[in-house]
Amino acid sequence: MAQAVSEVLPFAIGVAIVPIPIIAVILMLFSQRARLNGPVFLLGWVTGLSAAFVVVYAIADAGDVDTDETAADGVGWLKILLGILLLALAGRTWRKRPRPGAEPEMPRWMSGVDELAPGKALGLGLVLSALNPKNLILVVGAAAGLAQLGVSTSYALAGLAVFVLVGSLTVGLPVGYYLVGGESAKSTLDELKAWLGSHNEAIMTVLFLVFGVILIVKGLAPLTE
């Protein structure tokens, strides 16, 4: 099981440190529906992350990537391409960073996050976790890598559990903190939101660089054996 966990853990950490979903859930915790929308968003996040992982793993496992050399090479090339894409995104993100003193720009959809109905909060959690291309690249890296190990079903489920748990920590902790701390937690969450907004580009640039290299290295491994 340790091998399964070590395969998915780095990618789960990558998912966890993406700032935008954390900012989104904090904004929801400042709304009138905070005690409902926060947990509902978290539910959507966990569901979407789990579903995306299971789908990618099932496709890779059905392709016998652990035993078929051609399929394994195909996954290797896919990881290399995704790694190159992340390196390109790192350069693009760094070039677009706000200049000193400039206000960082957030996605337009964030302006209405604090007014979402519960159903839309659930949908936003699903979209940000399962359909966000940046997240999906990390999900593919983790799930395809796990399938390549050829572990048992129970170990694969353990890998899934670790991936979803770690990948959801930074969304779940603010929700739990607010539910326990209530209004007194708002100042801390507001400071965290402001810090993440100011450093979003720097965090994403480092994340893209690190995981771009990781994916390329992991992709090269089966091709050079």
Residue type, 100: P
Determine the average pLDDT of the residues in 130-138.
90
Determine the average pLDDT of the residues in 87-105.
79
The pLDDT > 70 percentage for the chain reads 97
- What is the C-alpha to C-alpha distance for residues 99 and 88, in angstroms, rounded to an integer? 20
* Residue 16: predicted pLDDT: 93
User: Does residue 101 have a pLDDT over 70?
Assistant: no
With cut-offs at 50, 70 and 90, classify the pLDDT of residue 32: confident
With cut-offs at 50, 70 and 90, classify the pLDDT of residue 124: very high
How far, rounded to the nearest angstrom, does the alpha carbon of residue 222 sit from its chain's CA centroid? Answer: 25
Q: What is the pLDDT of residues 162-215, one digit of tens each?
A: 999 999 999 999 999 988 887 778 888 888 888 888 888 889 999 999 999 999
* Residue 51: predicted pLDDT: 96
Determine the average pLDDT of the residues in 25-50.
91
User: Does residue 92 have a pLDDT over 80?
Assistant: yes
- What is the C-alpha to C-alpha distance for residues 203 and 196, in angstroms, rounded to an integer? 8
* Residue 224: predicted pLDDT: 72
Residue 63: partners with Cβ closer than 8 Å, 6 or more residues away:
71, 74
User: Does residue 138 have a pLDDT over 80?
Assistant: yes
Compute the mean pLDDT over every residue in the chain, rounded to the nearest whole number.
88
Determine the average pLDDT of the residues in 74-90.
91
Kindly give the interhelix angle for 153-181 and 34-62, rounded to the nearest 10 degrees.
170
- What is the C-alpha to C-alpha distance for residues 38 and 175, in angstroms, rounded to an integer? 6
- What is the C-alpha to C-alpha distance for residues 157 and 135, in angstroms, rounded to an integer? 20
User: Does residue 85 have a pLDDT over 90?
Assistant: yes
With cut-offs at 50, 70 and 90, classify the pLDDT of residue 102: low
pTM reported for the whole predicted model: 0.89
